[in-house]
Amino acid sequence: MCDYRIVDRMIKANKIPLLDHIHSVKGHDPWAEWFERVNLPRSLLTSSQEWGGVLLQDAAAKVGQMLALCLERAHCSGKCFGGFDIRDVYYIEYYQLIDINAPMKDFTSRRYINDWLSFNKIIDDHFRYTDPTSGYLSYTLYMEDFMFRISLLEDVPSTGRSWRERAVFFKNISLESSERRVQIVEGLVGFYRERLTSDRELFEEVLQDCGYWKRKTRTVPRMSSALTYSVKNELQDWVPANHYFENCGYSQLYFCRCFFGHYTVPGRVCALSCSFLRSYGTIGL
């Protein structure tokens, strides 16, 4: 039979203060292991002023994911910390987990909000980079939207009680890899195709507010060619390969899937590059 005292000692021996772990990974050069600057190819830019953006590297994203999942483990069991400090947070190297060494209390929406505000502070303090042009601290791709969502929790006093509400936070795409974001798009298209008509209509309602996405997409050279791609029909006439519709969320989503599947070229346009297209208002992930 397992001696749980030995297991407990093993866990404690592998507990590293999260702040120490972050400092050890970041080192003296945060661009080596923490942040990644990605320059887009000219075919994915609309002006000479644009260049690309900054992503979290895998080690940094992993820390964010582990911290978010640590909160969810508490919240889904009906508990909260009610707020915490980074000095309360430990990285358990052996199990690749994060542990928050703070008293747990019964779940309330106020305590739930405070937990995510504490998460927000850690992101602000350790997951922003200094923009080389402006000199200001900036969020990596998608992270600003994530932090904005957290700030809006204050306006929803009964939040956090359903898994769906919480999933927007603990499964947020700002902490996912570029490849995973592309997989999500492909999965959503597959999900739509398997639905009945009534279910598809519900799906389309969720994606409805997408604006004039085709107009914006045409400003990106490589994407414009994908949007207007034509094939010959049985009469040997050139016709659009796909019909895309303005103000239609699923149409935009399907275009994303086609672009990712057919227009990513190893060494030229990759999933990493595609991740940045949302920041130019062209496609959304």
From 88, 153, 92, select the one nearest 120 (Cα to Cα).
153
More confidently predicted of 169 and 246: 169
pLDDT tens-digit profile of 27-42?
888 888 999 988 877 7
| Contact yes or no for 244/215 (Cβ under 8 A) | no
End-to-end CA distance of the chain: 48
Residue 183 makes CB contacts below 8 A (sequence gap 6+) with none
Low-confidence winner among 117-126, 213-222, 256-265 (lowest mean pLDDT):
256-265
| Contact yes or no for 35/29 (Cβ under 8 A) | no
Cross-strand bridge partners of residue 97? 92
Q: How confident is the model at residue 82 (pLDDT cuts 50, 70, 90)?
A: very high
Cβ neighbours, 10 Å, residue 204:
15
Cβ neighbours, 10 Å, residue 168:
12
Task: Give the Cα separation of 30 and 22 in Å (integer).
Answer: 10
DSSP 218: T
From 226, 283, 280, select the one nearest 47 (Cα to Cα).
280
pLDDT > 90 in the chain, percent: 41
**Residue 101 clears pLDDT 90, i.e. is over it:** yes
Torsion of CA 179, 208, 149, 280, to 10 degrees: 60
Q: How confident is the model at residue 267 (pLDDT cuts 50, 70, 90)?
A: very low
Cross-strand bridge partners of residue 16? 91
More confidently predicted of 112 and 48: 112
Low-confidence winner among 17-26, 68-77, 154-163 (lowest mean pLDDT):
154-163
